[in-house]
Structure 1
Amino acid sequence: MRYKKVRKLTYLAIMIALDVVLSPILRIEGMAPMSSVINVFAGVLMGPLYATTMAFICGIIRMAFLGIPPLALTGAVFGAFLAAELYRIFRNIYASMAGEIIGTGIIRSLLSYPVMVVFTGASNQFYWFIYTPRFLGAAVLGSIGAWFVWRKVKDLSVVRQMKSLFN
């Protein structure tokens, strides 16, 4: 039992490291599609609790060390949770992709407006849908990227072991 917990935490740490390292490297201004790739993978492989934990910790790390505003936290959590929850319900990657697109592309973009108003104090410079095109674009690009990568890695033994460990 203890061995399984250590393995789960190790995989969680690896996913956090991948997200933190890949997101800033493969980034378009205002868009982080690699974060969506990792969220879809976390949703498929680790389930809602670990995927949401991973996204939350990644958001905290990005805010603390990379100087990214609270937007790093608002969206990743919803995208990862919905990606994992929809995968848990429907058991296919398309459901996970849809969860990421809805959670990051729509929910995150709408919740980012009030967060940034509080963070910057400038309510007249923003409007509700200011972040939607960028976040939706990043979520769609990242989900499609996750699908391409998933097609290649789904049969690897380490991926199957990780998936069976969390399920």
Structure 2
Amino acid sequence: MQPIHSASAMTRAGGVSVRKMALTTMLAVLSFVLSTFVYFPAMAPFQHFCNLLGAVFLGPWYGLAAAALTGLLRMVLTGRTIQALVGAVFGAFLSALLYQKTRKLWLAYAGEVFGTGILSAIAVYPLMRLFYGLPPHSPFYYIPFYVPSAAVGGGMGCAVLLLLRHSGALNRMLNQLNR
């Protein structure tokens, strides 16, 4: 067996970034804790706050993993419905994908709001009917709940990221993470 000669090699295991895995877990736990203790009826803005941070720092797949972990934690530990899982993943993935392709924060924000506010809201409706016996409503029933939550939380995430960018810390953090 050959010795590891660089810090870069030590942070990668078979193409998987240990730093990104650690950040994925930290964002999932932060999102879970904030969404559990700072809760508004039918809204979890801190989920979307963390989704936007994950979009920029982690990319689509790790961001999706962080959102899914948060949703699973919320379902298992706090008894939330399947909305906790489905409501998080579409926005996280779309936000990160748009940011990865363009490097524009406003598109990451738009991806979070559209992905969660529209796509997740429509996708969760049949699952709520199937698993929880939701009475027949419009498939657009959840949109008025999801859009404001994603807009507020995504806005908070954008504000933090803009502050980091303005100070020059964002690029340093991204360089450190992607070593």
Of 6, 19, 30, the residue aligned with 2:31 is 19
Is the CA contact (8 Å cut-off) linking 1:39 and 1:100 kept in structure 2?
yes
Q: TM-score, normalised by structure 1?
A: 0.90
Higher helix share: 1
1:86 Cα offset (Å): 0.4
Structure 2 residue ranges without an equivalent (≥5): 1-8
Secondary structure, in 3 states, of the residue corresponding to 1:130?
A: coil
Q: Which amino acid aligns with 1:121?
A: G
Q: Determine which structure has more spread, i.e. the larger CA radius of gyration.
A: 2
Alignment of 1:1-167 (within 5 A): 1-4=9-12, 5-124=17-136, 126-154=137-165, 155=167, 157=169, 159-164=170-175, 165-166=177-178
Please give the alpha-carbon distance, in whole angstroms, between the structure 2 residues aligned to 1:161 and 1:20: 27
Q: Which runs of 4+ in 1 moved over 4 A?
A: none
- More relative contact order in 1 or in 2 (CA 8 Å, sep 6+)? 1
Structure 1 residue ranges without an equivalent (≥5): none
Q: Which amino acid aligns with 1:82?
A: L
Q: Could you report, residue by residue, the CA deviation over 1:3-45 in whole angstroms, capped at 9, with x for unpaired residues? A: 2432222111211111111112222100111111110110011
Report the CA distance shift for 1:162/1:10 in structure 2 as closer, same or farther (over 3 A): farther
- The sequence identity of aligned pairs, in percent, is 33
Report the CA distance shift for 1:166/1:62 in structure 2 as closer, same or farther (over 3 A): farther
Query: RMSD of the TM alignment (CA)?
Result: 1.7
Q: TM-score, normalised by structure 2?
A: 0.85
